[in-house]
Chain A
Amino acid sequence: MTNPSEPGPGLEGGANGGIQPGRYYGRGIPYLPIEGYPGKLIAFEGTDGVGRTTQIQLLREWLEVKGYGVVETGWTRSPLMQPTIELAKSSNTLNKLTFVLLYATDFADRLEKEIVPALKAGFVVLSDRYIFTAMARAGVRGIDRPWLRSLYGFAIAPHLVFYLNIDVKTLIGRVLEARGMDFWESGMDLKSGDDIYDSFRAYQSKLLREYSSMADEFHFRVVDARRPVDKIQDELRKQVAAFLEPVEKPVEATAAP
């Protein structure tokens, strides 16, 4: 039980709604204070093949031209955990609970080593996926949702969360054109059938439902990802600019071509 003399956070792990950006969602990391850091954290969420990475590349260049320091972080990119996660994926011996914890470990490592130092130094941190992908994938696999929210209570609430929304039909077309369907993105580990197309369709539909069920709770800014790349980028830039430079917003409409 928590010692009442300790200044613990006021919110229980389960109640994530209404958390101020830049603060911990839940009980946080007691030894790592983060309040008042000048950096901004912007998360990009959306399922596999929706175009997150492309949008982040474009946004990064644009922000850098405008003079912002930008740091990117992405799911399973922790140098400590990436080899282990790849090994676990290839050997197919890991239970889904163990997988969830491996992903959380990777995230904790990046949070402490990349995200928090960058926020402290005033960078704009662009996160290619954030905790919501992990929660959606785990939720689809039957992991207890309140437990997941408590687990990720050490995550920082981003200043902006963009959710690139797509329908499964458009997604299928895009993924087949780009690189084909992959074992994990098709949820083949759920063993709902041997047909990768059927499995992809069923799994991604469930994932999309899981994401949209989180949209209100975590204040997603929903972006229609079925549009062309440059249209989506325009919308992202407008919203990011309005957030980073709120005073300049009205000027933008009359800017020279």
Chain B
Amino acid sequence: MTFSLLHATDFADRLLYKIIPPLKAGMIVLADRYAYTAFARDVTRGVDRQWVRDLYSFAVRPDLTLYFRVPIDVSLDRLLARRVKLKFYEAGMDLGWSANPVESFRMFQGKVLGEYDRLVEEFGLEVIDAAPSITVQQRLVRTLVTKHVETSHVEAVDDEPL
């Protein structure tokens, strides 16, 4: 509960200082994670699903939300390739489900992914398959963003493979 409210406090501060002013100025705001992360993570930690939605009702609803969906094994491989240890909270070790970080990560993130699937339905998130290469994903991202943003000023998309 405290964890959930602490994140909401941080979110409110960023919303009011970093998100709303540029939106008022007509700029495009790219948010790396948004309230949906809190919905998935906090509910997995046992917070009431409706309560956390009500809590974040002060948030601005995004014009477009991209959800990069990836199987647990792929995300585990990527994380373990980058660094030696999984982060304590990322693996849900605080919940005490398993003393083994990899095992705990599987259990915790499995539930988090389940919550995300629910959010896709509820809030109409655009799902992007995050297993393929960065280039393939980026093309899809550009296609989706183009539908929402005035593209006349945007540079042409690079067609050449990297």
- Which residues of A line the B interface, CB within 8 A? 1-3, 6, 8, 13, 26-32, 80, 94-95, 97-98, 101-102, 104-105, 108-109, 111-112, 147, 150-151, 153-154
Contact = CB atoms under 8 A, between A and B. Distances in A.
Contact of B47 (A30, A95, A98): A30
Interface string B90-116: 000000000000000000000000000
A153 B46 contact: no
A153 B51 CA distance: 8
Contacts of B55: 150-151
Contact of B16 (A6, A13, A95, A153): A95
Given A13-B54, A147-B54, A147-B57, A29 B16 contact: no
Nearest to A109: B2
Interface residues of B, number: 23
Contacts of B54: 13, 147, 150-151, 153
A6 B50 CA distance: 12
Contacts of B50: 1-2, 8, 13, 27
B117 to A, nearest CB: 13
Contact of B5 (A2, A101, A150): A101
Interface in B19-63: 45-51, 54-55, 57-58
B107 to A, nearest CB: 16
Interface of B: 1-2, 4-6, 8-9, 12-13, 16-17, 45-51, 54-55, 57-58, 122
A28 B49 CA distance: 11
B51 A104 contact: no
A112 B58 contact: no
Contacts of B46: 29-31
A183 to B, nearest CB: 21
A77 to B, nearest CB: 14
A102 B6 CA distance: 7
A1 B13 CA distance: 26
B57 A101 contact: no
B9 to A, nearest CB: 4
A170 B5 CA distance: 37
Contact of A3 (B1, B47, B49, B51): B49
A80 B133 CA distance: 42
A65 B113 CA distance: 54
Given A2-B50, A98-B16, 7 more contacts: A13-B54, A26-B51, A27-B51, A80-B2, A101-B9, A112-B1, A153-B54
A27 B54 CA distance: 11
23 contacts: A1-B122, A3-B49, A8-B48, A27-B48, A27-B51, A29-B47, A30-B47, A30-B48, A32-B1, A80-B2, A94-B13, A97-B16, A102-B9, A105-B2, A105-B9, A108-B4, A111-B1, A147-B54, A147-B57, A150-B54, A153-B48, A153-B54, A154-B51
A30 B48 CA distance: 6
B115 to A, nearest CB: 11
Contacts of A3: 49
Contacts of A108: 1-2, 4-5
B57 to A, nearest CB: 6
A32 B13 CA distance: 28
Contact of A13 (B5, B6, B51): B51
Contacts of B9: 98, 101-102, 105
Contacts of A147: 54, 57-58
B48 A101 contact: no
Contacts of B45: 31
Nearest to A13: B54
A104 B48 CA distance: 16
A101 B12 contact: yes
- Between B1, B8, B49, the greatest number of chain A beta carbons within 10 A of the residue's beta carbon is seen for B1
Minimum-distance CB pairs A-B, first 7 = A31-B46, A105-B5, A101-B9, A27-B48, A27-B51, A150-B54, A108-B1
